[in-house]
Structure 1
Amino acid sequence: MWLFLTNAGDSAVTLPAALAIALAQAARGHLRSAGLWLLLLGAGGLLVLASKLAFLGWGVGVPALRFTGVSGHSYLAAAVLPVLGRQLWPRDSARALYGQLAGVLLALLVGVSRLMIGVHSVSEVASGLVLGLWVSAGYLKACEGAGTLPMRRLIGAGGALVLAGVLFGLQSPSHALVVHLAHYLAGRGHDW
């Protein structure tokens, strides 16, 4: 069960869903909303990447908290899934709020799954969830007046990608790429 849940936060699942959100906003003429979404998501992603590179390349972490980098799965799940859930429904309907809350709940479960399969510490998961929820809440607050998305099929496709990732275990090679980049930047062929 935990592996199924952890897949919902994989970048192979969440990044296409995030792109579907941006494309749906842009197609409606809300280019500023689409740009803000990509900017916030990318800025948070850079923080996640920087934390991982710092530890893998130079050993920068917080040993007392077992912190070696922000959990990317937790971050992406918390950033993308609440926005996806909210934008599946008309803005003024209770279903939009329920969709957002379902996205938050699924993101929390992704975080728990990262703990249960033993790949992250509590501090790494918590930092990923907080950062991701900050991105999703900031985006939704900034775009309150943008209205609902008319391209429910595109957003629905993003939701289907999340479901497919959970069911079929879609996984990206992002961790291996981050490790390789850290080794390259640090000038050594191994972790710190």
Structure 2
Amino acid sequence: MQNAWFFLSAAGDSRWLLPMTLVLLCALPSSRARLKWRWLTAICSTAAVTLASKLAFMGWGIGIERLHFTGFSGHAAMSSVAYPVIGLMLGGASRHGRAIGLLSGCALAIAIAWSRIPLQAHSLSEIFAGLTLGLVASAWTLRADTHPQRPAAAAVLAAVVIGLVLPLSLPHLPTHQLVIALAKALSGRTEVVESF
């Protein structure tokens, strides 16, 4: 069962999600410019809020001790800003297909978020906060266009392949260490706050 949690968790890794969504964004037709800009804004805002919450805790110890909240779960936040929109896009033109796609995307994001619990990567409050942040951003994105055109099969394939390049070519990219280094640089600390 542990392997299933690792697999699900990997599907929420930003090294995979960000390149994949960038390709899908570029593949959307220019007639969907409003959707493109909303989704790009939602992704960037979600990533920025998540990073800021991690830096606030690591650099200055800002969190909520009684909830064991040290920052938004990045996997939960980024999965829930990406997969619901992708699911709706892949659902096609029919209302039924779009509903299934949207629900599938939300279910995948929730499963990815939950995978962080058995892997002991986040507390329940951090998962819930990340999911809420990402789902609100997805909902805001889809207010621009609830009938996005299904991307071409070639674009979907390119998104998957390009999304896999970074995780496979740089499997040990020290993203967490980069956040730690940034927290140290901004706060002036020699050691970051790791836990309450």
Distance 1:98 1:78, change over 3 A: same
Structure 1 partner of 2:49: 47
Deviation string, structure 1 residues 39-94 (Cα, Å, up to 9, x no partner): 11111111111100000000000000000000001101111011111111323342
* Aligned-CA RMSD value: 2.5
Distance 1:105 1:91, change over 3 A: same
Deviation at 1:163, TM superposition (A): 8.3
Structure 1 partner of 2:113: 111
Q: Does the 8 Å CA contact 1:28/1:150 hold for their aligned counterparts?
A: no
Deviation at 1:151, TM superposition (A): 2.9
Q: Does the 8 Å CA contact 1:6/1:166 hold for their aligned counterparts?
A: no
Q: Which residues of structure 1 form unaligned runs of 5+?
A: none
Deviation string, structure 1 residues 112-147 (Cα, Å, up to 9, x no partner): 1101100100000000001111111211122225x4
Looking at structure 1, the residues matched to 162 and 109 of structure 2 have their Cα atoms a distance apart, in angstroms, of 15
Q: Which residues of structure 2 form unaligned runs of 5+?
A: none
Distance 1:163 1:12, change over 3 A: closer
Moved over 4 A (4+): 159-172
Structure 1 partner of 2:183: 182
Q: Of the candidates 14, 18, 24, which is equivalent to residue 17 of structure 2?
A: 14
Q: Does the 8 Å CA contact 1:7/1:171 hold for their aligned counterparts?
A: no
Q: Does the 8 Å CA contact 2:84/2:102 hold for their aligned counterparts?
A: yes
2:95 is the alignment partner of 1:66: no
Looking at structure 1, the residues matched to 178 and 188 of structure 2 have their Cα atoms a distance apart, in angstroms, of 15
Distance 1:167 1:98, change over 3 A: farther
Deviation at 1:8, TM superposition (A): 0.7
Q: So what's the TM-score if we normalise by structure 1?
A: 0.87
Distance 1:172 1:15, change over 3 A: farther
Which 10-residue stretch deviates more, 165-174 or 181-190? Answer: 165-174
Looking at structure 1, the residues matched to 173 and 163 of structure 2 have their Cα atoms a distance apart, in angstroms, of 13
Instruction: Figure out how many residues of one structure are paired with residues of the other and give that number.
Output: 190
Q: So what's the TM-score if we normalise by structure 2?
A: 0.86
